[in-house]
């Protein structure tokens, strides 16, 4: 691991309005430089901005961060995720594969300067630059809570978006299921100039195809059998406020065309209402857990609609990327559910916290909330232990992909050291290296603190433990 992958926090310039002081800025990866060694673009060098999500995608399609003009490369071919442990290179189901040292890989942890090949092209990440980023000094945006730097960076972005004077700019909220996309939309509405107007949700998964037009555009009496009264559609209901279009990626192509028309013209006509158009003043916030860029490339989502709703994209990190937010959120949910259900106050044991940190949370915060709520009701004692949490094995952390280095052809002792180093790096990536991490990481590894610190030193990883004195 290089020090470049570690994030450094700086003290705030002002005190936080309430609660504990949270650092006011941090340094994170901001730019990646790379060089193309072979193929049609051989010799070219470029640099690409990296956002909060620290992931770049590459391929032939112009919507990629790294665009390659190579016929042997797929539209969306590979991704590079910059983590504390190194760079995770992934094959995005390409046709011709991704290769490291001539070995085809689906996922591999590579170091800076490693060379990998896609199609005829060999690429090398040659360097990274850090940027200083402001962090919110609070731990929430509306009902969305977060203490990790990545969440507090997001809160700054969201406060800025909410405060835009016209509050007309469309926003596309993306992220895995249960990451809080609807909370973002509600928060943006409630903190915008439209807060006094309505907040209407249109869930595209619950839109029966035969009545979808009627729901979206409204209708007048007699439009179809059973239409015995005039009825506004969701755009009219939302006028003066915000329309939250949830699961936008599920919208069939014919409805996408109609939606585009409303968004382009800012007006709707109800079914069975001739020669009348109604102006609507709506801010559209859309959400999806699908990869819309990819759907556009595959012709399953209209490109014009994609750019129309894109305005500003807000990508929510998965719960796995939020360090020990998982523990703080769990504590909060436990407190809340006990109060709501009139249960005795309960707390998690350290082993429950360790188990929560180790889980994979494919269902993200929604899954965490359900697990905590169930445990609170099923546990009679004052403490909720790891064994009280119904964390099935499928939600436990999946094994990290093996390093692309040839571990299996190394001498035994060398392979062991290599494995131990990877194991420690993976732990550091999972828990982060903020104050208190050694306690968490050693508990997860089932080691005492002294043995853990000794192992870190032996493996040459001690200088990376920036957040905390080792002795």
What is the binding site for ligand ATP (CB under 6 A)? 143-146, 175, 177-183, 246, 287, 289, 329, 365-366, 369
Residue 283's nearest CA partner among 315, 247, 309, 248 is 309
Q: Which is nearer to ligand ATP, 238 or 365 (CB)?
A: 365
- Smallest distance, ligand ATP to C-beta of residue 326, A: 10
Q: Which is nearer to ligand ATP, 194 or 369 (CB)?
A: 369
- Smallest distance, ligand ATP to C-beta of residue 341, A: 16
Q: Write the secondary structure of the chain as one string of H (helix), E (strand) and C (coil).
A: CCHHHCCEEECCCCCCCCCCCCCCEEEEEEEEEEEEEECCCCCCEEEEECCCCCEEEEECCCCCCEECCCCCCCCCCEEEEEECCEEEEEECCCCCCEEECCEEECEEEECCCCEEEECCEEEEEEEEEEEEEECCCCCEECCEECCCHHHHHHHHHHHHHHCCCCCCCCEEEECCCCCCHHHHHHHHHHCCCCCCCCEEEEEHHHCCHHHHHHHHHEECCCCCCCCCCCEECHHHHHCCCEEEEECHHHCCHHHHHHHHHHHHHCEECCECCCCCCEECCCEEEEEECCCHHHHHHCCCCCHHHHHHHHEEEEECCCHHHCCCHHHHHHHHHHHHHHHHCCCCCCEECHHHHHHHHHECCCCHHHHHHHHHHHHHHHCCCCEECHHHCCCCHHHECCCCCCCCCCHHHCCHHHHHHHHHHHHHHHHHHHHCCCCCHHHHHHHHHCCCHHHHHHHHHHCCCHHHCCCCCCC
* Rounded Cα–Cα distance for residues 385 and 379 (Å): 9
Q: Which is nearer to ligand ATP, 146 or 197 (CB)?
A: 146
Q: Which is nearer to ligand ATP, 346 or 369 (CB)?
A: 369
Q: Which is nearer to ligand ATP, 39 or 249 (CB)?
A: 249
Q: Which is nearer to ligand ATP, 39 or 178 (CB)?
A: 178
Residue 60's nearest CA partner among 71, 72, 75 is 75
- Smallest distance, ligand ATP to C-beta of residue 369, A: 5
- Smallest distance, ligand ATP to C-beta of residue 415, A: 41
Q: Which is nearer to ligand ATP, 82 or 155 (CB)?
A: 155
- Smallest distance, ligand ATP to C-beta of residue 184, A: 7
- Smallest distance, ligand ATP to C-beta of residue 143, A: 6
Closest residue to ligand ATP using C-beta atoms? 180
Q: Which is nearer to ligand ATP, 110 or 135 (CB)?
A: 135
Name residues whose C-beta falls within 8 Å of residue 254's C-beta, 6 or more positions apart in sequence: none
Q: Contact 117/98 with Cβ under 8 angstroms?
A: yes
- Smallest distance, ligand ATP to C-beta of residue 36, A: 37
- Smallest distance, ligand ATP to C-beta of residue 65, A: 24
- Smallest distance, ligand ATP to C-beta of residue 301, A: 17
- Smallest distance, ligand ATP to C-beta of residue 179, A: 4
Q: Which is nearer to ligand ATP, 197 or 249 (CB)?
A: 249
- Smallest distance, ligand ATP to C-beta of residue 201, A: 10
Q: Which is nearer to ligand ATP, 372 or 428 (CB)?
A: 372
Q: Which is nearer to ligand ATP, 53 or 246 (CB)?
A: 246
């Amino acid at each position: 691991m290089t020090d470049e992958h570690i994030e450094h926090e700086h003290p705030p310039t002002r005190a936080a309005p309430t609660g504990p002081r949270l650092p006011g800025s941090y340094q994170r990866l901001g730019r990646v430089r790379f060089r193309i060694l072979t193929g049609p673009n051989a010799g070219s060098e470029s640099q690409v901005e990296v956002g909060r999500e620290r992931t770049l995608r590459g391929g032939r399609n112009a919507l990629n961060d790294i665009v390659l003009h190579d016929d042997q490369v797929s539209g969306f071919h590979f991704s590079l995720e910059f983590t504390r442990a190194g760079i995770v290179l992934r094959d995005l189901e390409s046709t011709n594969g991704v290769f490291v040292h001539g070995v085809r890989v689906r996922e591999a942890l590579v170091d800076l300067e490693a060379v990998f090949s896609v199609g005829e092209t060999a690429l090398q990440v040659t360097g990274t630059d850090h940027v200083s980023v402001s962090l919110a000094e609070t731990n929430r945006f509306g009902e969305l809570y977060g203490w990790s730097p990545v969440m507090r960076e997001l809160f700054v972005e969201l406060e800025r978006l909410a405060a835009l004077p016209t509050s007309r700019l469309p926003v596309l909220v993306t992220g895995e299921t249960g990451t809080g996309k609807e909370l973002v939309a509600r928060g943006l509405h409630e903190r915008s100039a439209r807060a006094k107007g309505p907040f209407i949700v249109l869930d595209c998964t619950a839109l029966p195809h035969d009545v979808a037009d009627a729901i979206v555009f409204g209708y007048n009496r007699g439009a179809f059998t059973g239409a015995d009264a005039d009825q506004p559609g969701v755009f009219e209901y939302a006028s003066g406020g915000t329309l939250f279009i949830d699961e936008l990626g599920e919208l069939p192509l014919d409805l996408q065309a109609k939606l585009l028309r409303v968004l382009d013209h800012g007006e709707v006509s109800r079914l069975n209402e001739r020669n009348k158009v109604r102006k609507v003043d709506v801010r559209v916030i859309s959400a999806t857990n699908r990869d819309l860029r990819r759907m556009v490339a595959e012709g399953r989502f209209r490109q014009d609609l994609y750019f129309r709703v894109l305005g500003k994209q807000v990508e929510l990190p998965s719960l796995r990327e939020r360090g020990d937010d998982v523990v703080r959120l769990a504590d909060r949910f436990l407190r809340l559910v006990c109060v709501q259900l009139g249960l005795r106050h309960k707390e998690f044991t350290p082993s429950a916290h360790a188990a929560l940190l180790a889980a994979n949370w494919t269902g993200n915060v929604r899954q965490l909330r359900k697990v905590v709520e169930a445990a609170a009701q099923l546990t009679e004692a004052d403490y909720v232990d790891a064994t009280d949490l119904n964390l099935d094995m499928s939600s436990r952390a999946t094994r990290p992909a093996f390093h692309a280095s040839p571990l299996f052809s190394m001498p035994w002792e060398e392979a062991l050291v290599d494995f131990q180093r990877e194991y420690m790096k993976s732990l550091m990536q999972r828990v982060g290296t903020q104050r208190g991490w050694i306690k968490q990481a050693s508990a997860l590894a089932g080691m005492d603190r002294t043995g853990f610190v000794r192992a870190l030193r032996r493996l040459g990883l001690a200088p990376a433990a920036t957040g905390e004195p080792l002795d």
